[in-house]
Amino acid sequence: MKIVGLFGHPVSHSLSPMMHNLAFEKMALPYRYFAFDINPDQVKQAVDSIRVLGIRGVNVTIPYKETVIPFLDAVDRSATMIGAVNTIVNDGGKLTGYNTDGQGYVMSLEEELNVNVQDLDIVILGAGGAARGIIFSLLEKNARNIALYNRNKERAEKLVAEFDKEQASKIMVIHDLEQLHKYHLIINTTPSGMYPNVNETPIDIAYVSPSHLVSDIVYNPLMTKFLKQAQTKGATIHHGLGMFIYQGAIAFELWTGQKPPVQEMYKAVQTHLIKQ
């Protein structure tokens, strides 16, 4: 039996164990996924335990995505650029960190909406870590145009400056929401609307039109107020559950070398969320 798991604090709410263990059972793989609640002063010991106990790998969630990096042997390009690790793989004692969040988001977007980001002009709402990861993955996939909007303009400019010169040249910071009509896709990367703040929205819905695709990375609740409002305006919507599923699917493949049953994972997590 090979052990994989989740490092975070707290982790009792996580749906990752249910999702991954379902996939392992469906594929008859000898793996088991556990959630490990790590104390803030024991992160180094926790990472060392991956080697000592022969754990195949872990996901890393809040608040340790940055904290674990100094204790790893290698960090792949995406995680280095994003400045955060959400997956660790143990290859014979060598620990490598990856970030699958942005890639998982783009995969879910293209699969669920049947679009190609190369054909889209995209606005990102927010300038935090989630925005950074998604922008990096959109650039990797040659998204046509990327604009960044954040209420704190200086923070948006700072985020763009973190990319190399060539990448930064492909990102525009916009300060006026009146420009939204020029873009196909609006992506909310802020926590606005996430439980328990379910009545929040990242922008005024007046700027959304029927021609827009509107995506929200929040998946609890599944239908945020922003998505509900966008739907009433006639926009096509995309909720955040797919990002969670696909980032996990990429981690699953890094650990096992096999592709998981994504649709069954999706259905199980969606059913669980609807019942909550």
Domain boundaries, the chain: 2-99+242-275, 102-239
Q: Kindly state which CATH superfamily the domain 2-99+242-275 is placed in.
A: Leucine Dehydrogenase, chain A, domain 1 (3.40.50.10860)
Helix (H, G, I), strand (E, B) or coil at 269: helix
Q: What is the pLDDT of residue 273?
A: 87
- Please indicate if the annotation marks 35 as binding a ligand: no
Which position among 2, 26, 44, 65 bears the catalytic label?
65
Residue 274 pLDDT > 90, yes or no? no
- Please indicate if the annotation marks 240 as binding a ligand: yes
- The neighbouring-strand residues paired with 33 are 4
- Please indicate if the annotation marks 80 as binding a ligand: no
Q: What angle do CA 50, 54, 60 make, to 5 degrees?
A: 30
- Is 131 within 8 Å of 156 (Cβ atoms)? no
The average pLDDT across 96-122 equals 95
- Please indicate if the annotation marks 128 as binding a ligand: yes
Report the mean per-residue pLDDT for the chain.
95
The reported pTM is 0.92
Band (276; pLDDT cuts 50, 70, 90): low
Tell me whether residue 65 is one of the annotated catalytic residues. yes
Ordered DSSP codes for 157-210: HHHHHTS-HHHHTTEEE---GGGGGG-SEEEE-S-TT-TT-TT--SS-GGG--T
The average pLDDT across 108-137 equals 94
Give pLDDT tens digits for 141-161: 999 999 999 999 999 999 999
Residue 73 pLDDT > 70, yes or no? yes
Q: What is the pLDDT of residue 220?
A: 86
Residue 189 pLDDT > 90, yes or no? yes
CATH of the domain spanning 102-239: 3.40.50.720
